[in-house]
Every structure is written in C-alpha cells, then in structure tokens.
Structure 1
Amino acid sequence: MRSKLLSIVAGLGLAFACLQSAQAQAQPVKFALCYDLSKSYGFVTPQIAQAANDYAKILNQKGGIEGHPIEILVQDHGNEPQRGIECYEKMKREGAIAFDFLSTPVSRAVLPRAMADGNVMVQSFVGRGDAVDGDVFKWIFPIGPTYWGQMANNIHYIKTKSNNNLKGVKISFIYPDYPFGQEPIGVLKTLAAKEGFDLQLVPNPMPGNDQAAAWSQIRRNNPDWVISWNLAGMHVVASREMKRNGIPMDKYLSVNWLNEVDLANIGLENAKGLKRGTNVTGGQSHPLMQQIIKDLYEKNKGSGDRKHLNDVYYNTGLAIYASVFEGARLAIKQNGWPITPDKMKRGLESLKNFDAEGLLAPVTVTTKDHGGGGKTRIDMWDGAKWVPQTDWFSAYDDVIQDIVKKESGEFAKNKQ
C-alpha cells in the first residue's frame, strides 16, 4: 500500500513538473514598441511596426524564441516625451522585456527611467550618440550606427571624393531645428576643426514645409556638398528648392531617413545622383523577405499593407528586430527561463558579427560597446535603383570614441 501511495505521489509530482514546464513554454516574450504613429514619424513607424510583427509571426510559426511565443505591444506616443513616459510605464506593467521608442526626444526623456529601473531600452538609429558607452548607459542599446557615426561616415566619404583632403571643401548642413536634427552637430564641428573643411549650419524650422530661406543661404555659400538631415516630405521640398537655386542633385547626401515614397515624390529621374547614408539592405531579395512574402503575404496573413514591403523602412524594422530577437534567444539559451532584464541585457551583449544574413552591417555588441560598430554605407540613386558606392564601413572611430566618453562622462557626473 505504501509503495502504491509513493508511486501515486511520484506520478503527481511528475505531472505537476510537466504542467509547470508546459506553462513556462507557453509564456510569451513581450516587446514594447512605443512609437509616434500619429504626428512627426508617421512616415516610418507603421512600416517598422509591421516588420516587427511579421518577423514575430515567422518565428512563432517555428516555435517562437527558444519555445516561447513573441508578443509585440504597440502604442502611439505622438512624439510627445510625457506620453512616451506614460507608454513606458504601462508596458512595464504589462511585462515587456525591452522597450523601443523610435524618437530622439522621447528616447532622451525615457532614458533616465529605464536606467533607474534596470530595463533594456532599444535605441537603434535614433537617440543620443553617447549611449553606445555600455559602462555608463548599461541598459541602453543603440545597436547599429548612431547619428554621430553616420555623420562621421558621411564626412569620410566626402573626403574620399576630395582627393583625401578636406581643407577648403565647403559643406552645408541643413537640418530640422529640433533634437533629431541637432544631434550630429557636435561631431560635424569637431571634424571641421580636425579636417579643415568649411562648415555652414543651416537650421530649418519644423515642419520643414518652407525651406526657401534655408536654400537661399546654401546657394550663396556655393557648397561642394550638402548633407541633409531632412525627413519624409522635407526631401521633396528640398529637391524643389535645389532646382530653383540651381544646386545639382548629386551634391545632396541624405541621412538614412529617405525612402522609396520620397523618391517617387521627388521624381525617380529628378532624384538621379542623390546619395544616402544607408543602415540596412533594401529590396526584397533577402531570404527573410522572401520567407515573409511566401509564408505571410501570399496567404493573406501579413501584418499590414503589402506595398510596404517595397520600402527600405520595412527592412529597417526587420534589421532592428532581427538583432533584438536574437538577443532574446541568446538570453534564454544561455541563462534559461524566465527571461529577465538582466538576462536580456547579457543576451544583447553576446551578439557577435551578427548581420541577419546580410540584412545589416555586422554588429558585435559588448558590455562596453552597446552600438556594435557603427558601420554604414553610401548608396546612390541612379534613376532606377540604389547603387552602393562603398562597402559597409566606419570612420573616425577615435574621434567618435573621444566625443562619446566626454558626453557620457558629463551624463554620469550630472547624475550623481
């Protein structure tokens, strides 16, 4: 009788253990996308959220991340810092393991809270450049190139086109006069002093619909190059003003936020010669894109409009979340379930030469470097397609590192 009772107890214990295991397997990994879906960044956020959801569906069809389904939580913050903070607090209560705001002003506002709480904040392609310093910004992950790194790479490209000598070269920088546009100015000034180029800063008030005065200034300067930190329709306005002022399009070097919609609105032929700093591979030839088309959109299971698959911003979303999902996979594989902020942090810090099969430049994230290398490339529009002008590269790494340490040191000092 006693033996039979022990057998029943053991069986119940095994059943309970199996139930616990099944419950653990069913628990989702949650990612919070607090995005501006209604105001300044509505030209890009729907595509990135759509890509994140599509990639989550593809992985969930294969069992999720190490057996755990992915859940994408999306909410609008309207590019308002206070609403971004409110979204963060809500998503924190809902159990998100990583938080993404895709806005420089909102990211800057939320950053101190995420740091104080010990929560992972994703800051790919936006936000403050010194956040790559993992010693200071322990919970912030600007994986990929920051605006600082992208600007440094742009200057290096111009240098290669100027017989490797920038002395006397005239560069005009046109930018929307708010945090996003202002972010790379310090790097520009530092490099101007180092290399001897002539820098003209041309701020333009938001929303950037009237750039007549700005381009008149640029025309009078007669620059060799114009670096633009414009967004969306601002590029179209800029192209019209360039034509009116007799400035050729091949002098225009854009920030990465210029997509196929902008090209169509400028005019595919009119945009010929335009150049862009590029963070990710565009087009639909990538294996992940092909799988998404086959498994989701050809079966009417996609997360949004199929036309967005032609947009480099969709690929940008895939690139961001390829890195984030891989970090979560490493977190669970290396340290087990349940996933915690600390495990997620260590997972992201384990990314090594990760490029999502060529979707982005290889990134290696460490405890000290949360950016992963800062590589971009320069592409040129030839009237029909983007043509890479360089391989993936990073430049002025020592200059960027010096600025990062100076700025992150100020942040650390002011916190105390």
Structure 2
Amino acid sequence: MMGGLITGSQALAEPFKVGVCYDLSKAYTFASPQVSQAAMDLAKLVNLKGGIGGEPVEVIVRDHGNEPQRGIECYSKLSREGVFVFDTLSTPVSLAILPRAMEDGRVLMQSLVGRGDAVDGTVFDWVYPVGPTYWGQAANDVAYLKQLHDGDLSDVKVGFVYFDYPFGQEPIEILETLSEKEGFDLELYPVPLPGSDQASVWSKVRRDKPDHVIVWMLGGAHVVASKEMQRNRIPMDKYISVNWLNEVDIANIGNEAAIGLKRGTNVVGGLDVPLRQEILAELYEKGEGSGPLEKTEDVFYNTGLAMYSIVFEAARKAVELEGLPITPESYKAGLETLKDFDANGLMAPITVTGEDHGGGGKTRIEMWDGETWVPQTDWISAYSDVVWDVVKESSEKYGQ
C-alpha cells in the first residue's frame, strides 16, 4: 500500500492538477523520461483507488527542453488553467520560475535541482526542495568517509571531480569548510562539459593519489570516468557519485567493472520496492502502464515515485486539514505537516516544516556489488549546522 495516499473510493470530482514542466528532449533525458513516467503511473494508481478525498489527480507533462523561457511559458499557461503545484527537474528553469511562483503564490517543488538555499522556508515560502540539497549530499559523503577512517580524517586526501558549471561547483564551499573542520586535504578536479574528455583529469588523480574521489557528474560522464580509472589503474571503490547515477550507467560501465563503485542516494534502488510492485500488478500487468516496462527498472523511476508520493501525500494532508477544494494555501499547509514520511520504505524519511522545506536532507551511501546496490550506511543527515550556516548566508542575500 502507499502509506495512506488514498482516502477512499468516492465519486471523482474536479482533478487536483500537477504541472510537470520537464526537459524531455535535451540535457536531462537520461532521467526525465523515467521520473515523468513514474509520476503518470502513480497518478493512475491514485485514481484507481478513488483519488484524494474523492478528487482525481492529473499530471500534466510538458517539455521545456531545459530552456528557461519555455519553462516560464509552461508555468504561465498551466497557471492560467488552474495549476498551482509545479516541478521542473531543471535548475535553470527552476531559477527562472522561482520569483514568479513566489509572487503568484504557487508551490514550486524542486527536489534535487534549483537553489540549495531554498530549503529555508522563512525566505522561500512557496518553494519546496524536498530531499537532499547538493550541499547536504556532499556533507553526508564526508560523514561516510569519516566513518571509514574511524572518526579521523586528518591524514586523508579527498578528490572532488566535478562538471565545471554551477551543478558541479555547488558542493565546493561545503567541502572546503569541512576540509578545514576535519583536517582532510581536498583536491579539486574540474571536468569541462560535456564530460567526454576526462583523460587529463584522471591522469592527475593517478599522480595525486587521493584516498577517495567524490564525483559530481551526470549520465555518460560516469562511463567515461570509469574507463579512465581503469586505464590509470585507479580502484573503482574510491568512487562516490552524486545521486545521478543509475542502472543504465552501470550496464554501460559493466556489471563486473563497476563492482565497488558507490553513490549517495535518498531513494531505495532495485525492483522490490512495494510501491513499484503494486504499480506493476495494477497497471503494467493489465497493459495500463504509462511507458515502457524497462523504464521502471531504474533508480530514477523510483526517484519519480518518491517525488510524487510526496506531492500526493501533501494533497491528502491538505484535504484532511481543510477539506475540498485543495487550495494553494491548504496544499502548503499539507506539505508542512509531513513527518517521517517515507512512502512505505521507498525513500529516506522526510519531515517538512515551515522553517525547513527540505525535509531533513537524509541520504545513504550504496555500493554496487556486481548484481545490486548494497547500503553502506543508515539514512544520515550530517553536519547540519555547517550546511545551514551556508543556507542562511545565501538565503539572507536573496531576502535582501
């Protein structure tokens, strides 16, 4: 079951609409089809069970091609059609929409993208980056390394390999702060876009001999990195990826070659997730799935299920609190009552408040063992004081 997402089988009324303005054609197609397919599947399952408070849900998917202006057009058009909950799965588009959503009183969900400081609900009152920011993910990676080294990082060297543009650069400030705090050496290795040429980076890594390498790249760049590591005889178990590494990447690296590789994640990988199993039984086995079955066999599909479980659970909470119809204000209140919600074991538990719109920022480290992902830690949220210092410093500048 879905952790209380459904309230009954009353006659369906006007739909609760979610605007899914995604890049389905350009930069983020390694993840956006799986996430949007999960959103549509979950909406179908909710409606099969009578909707939320007797009201159906509708996921409206549009392509913005990762272009801010097209994203604004998507937001504006759907706003006119009564949509007040949006997700973009794109940092450039989220940044473009954010001031409009704040002014209009629309809810902007931005899990895993957008401004890291938007977790500060005292400033960004209509923005909800539920899940870990890149700052929090990087801090949790350092906590894992500290665990490996029995609580002492003073003689440890950590490399940071990253796309040399804002997504990749974002964790640097946190890593530098933690380097000073914990005493580890930090070496930076910028990778020029699109990440197809990494030869000089990994040659330098070979010479510098870091004990661990935290990696902030996407898609095929992981495959390029793995080949360069093999060429330079760098063990794969040094590699800790940001959450954007999936089963397609593993298959392209090779199941055996990828053994030891690690990633940070806020969702459970694999095929045995209860919600996914329910969707297979209720939709795919009856020919009602929203896309190819193979897309559901991917951690990014699970990521989509997690994101939209949050979206629909907040709607259910809104109905509990204030009844129908769901309004922007009641939906916002619903979000801020979510406590230890994990969608029946699908993801790290989240607790959203008026002050913390990120939900707590928990992740865990998983390692590929040749067949599956094996957790190496519990769900953790480390160095929250350091992360929130950076959040507050940045959000206060925005507020001014």
The residue aligned with 1:19 is: none
Would the aligned equivalents of 1:107 and 1:127 in 2 still touch at CA under 8 Å?
yes
Note if 1:266 corresponds to 2:250: no
Equivalent residue in structure 1 for 2:263, among 276, 280, 295? 276
In the alignment, the residues of structure 1 paired with residue 130 and residue 120 of structure 2 have an alpha-carbon distance, to the nearest angstrom, of 11
The residue aligned with 2:8 is: none
In the alignment, the residues of structure 1 paired with residue 67 and residue 188 of structure 2 have an alpha-carbon distance, to the nearest angstrom, of 26
The residue aligned with 1:141 is: 128
Shift in Å at residue 298 of structure 1? 0.5
In the alignment, the residues of structure 2 paired with residue 269 and residue 84 of structure 1 have an alpha-carbon distance, to the nearest angstrom, of 40
In the alignment, the residues of structure 2 paired with residue 271 and residue 161 of structure 1 have an alpha-carbon distance, to the nearest angstrom, of 20
Equivalent residue in structure 1 for 2:315, among 303, 328, 331? 328
Please tell me the root mean square deviation across aligned C-alpha atoms, in Å: 1.4
Equivalent residue in structure 2 for 1:121, among 108, 130, 133? 108
In the alignment, the residues of structure 1 paired with residue 76 and residue 164 of structure 2 have an alpha-carbon distance, to the nearest angstrom, of 29
Shift in Å at residue 332 of structure 1? 1.9
Q: Which amino acid aligns with 1:379?
A: E
Q: Which amino acid aligns with 2:27?
A: S
Deviations 1:64-98, CA, capped at 9 Å, x for gaps: 11111111111111112222222111221122121
Would the aligned equivalents of 2:53 and 2:324 in 1 still touch at CA under 8 Å?
no
Q: Which amino acid aligns with 2:33?
A: P
Would the aligned equivalents of 2:270 and 2:372 in 1 still touch at CA under 8 Å?
no
Unpaired runs of 5+ in structure 1? Answer: 1-23
Equivalent residue in structure 1 for 2:355, among 353, 357, 368? 368
The residue aligned with 2:284 is: 297
The residue aligned with 2:6 is: none
In the alignment, the residues of structure 2 paired with residue 92 and residue 206 of structure 1 have an alpha-carbon distance, to the nearest angstrom, of 34
In the alignment, the residues of structure 2 paired with residue 255 and residue 124 of structure 1 have an alpha-carbon distance, to the nearest angstrom, of 14
- Structure showing greater radius of gyration is 1
The residue aligned with 2:392 is: 405
**Structure 1 counterpart SS, 2:96:** helix
Q: Which has the higher helix share?
A: 1
What is the identity percentage for the equivalent residue pairs of Structure 1 and Structure 2? 64
Note if 1:395 corresponds to 2:346: no
Q: How many aligned residue pairs are there?
A: 391
Note if 1:43 corresponds to 2:22: no
Would the aligned equivalents of 1:38 and 1:76 in 2 still touch at CA under 8 Å?
yes
**Structure 2 counterpart SS, 1:78:** coil
- Equivalent runs, 1:37-186 vs 2, <5 Å: 37-186=24-173
Would the aligned equivalents of 2:86 and 2:109 in 1 still touch at CA under 8 Å?
yes
Note if 1:27 corresponds to 2:14: yes
**Structure 1 counterpart SS, 2:30:** coil
Note if 1:191 corresponds to 2:173: no
In the alignment, the residues of structure 2 paired with residue 157 and residue 75 of structure 1 have an alpha-carbon distance, to the nearest angstrom, of 38
Note if 1:220 corresponds to 2:207: yes
Would the aligned equivalents of 1:127 and 1:180 in 2 still touch at CA under 8 Å?
no
Q: Which amino acid aligns with 1:148?
A: W
In the alignment, the residues of structure 2 paired with residue 116 and residue 202 of structure 1 have an alpha-carbon distance, to the nearest angstrom, of 39
**Structure 1 counterpart SS, 2:82:** coil
* TM-score (ref. length: structure 1): 0.92
In the alignment, the residues of structure 2 paired with residue 283 and residue 252 of structure 1 have an alpha-carbon distance, to the nearest angstrom, of 20
In the alignment, the residues of structure 1 paired with residue 167 and residue 72 of structure 2 have an alpha-carbon distance, to the nearest angstrom, of 18
In the alignment, the residues of structure 2 paired with residue 48 and residue 130 of structure 1 have an alpha-carbon distance, to the nearest angstrom, of 24
- Equivalent runs, 1:233-248 vs 2, <5 Å: 233-248=220-235
Shift in Å at residue 25 of structure 1? 4.9
Would the aligned equivalents of 1:239 and 1:266 in 2 still touch at CA under 8 Å?
yes
In the alignment, the residues of structure 2 paired with residue 228 and residue 129 of structure 1 have an alpha-carbon distance, to the nearest angstrom, of 18
* TM-score (ref. length: structure 2): 0.95
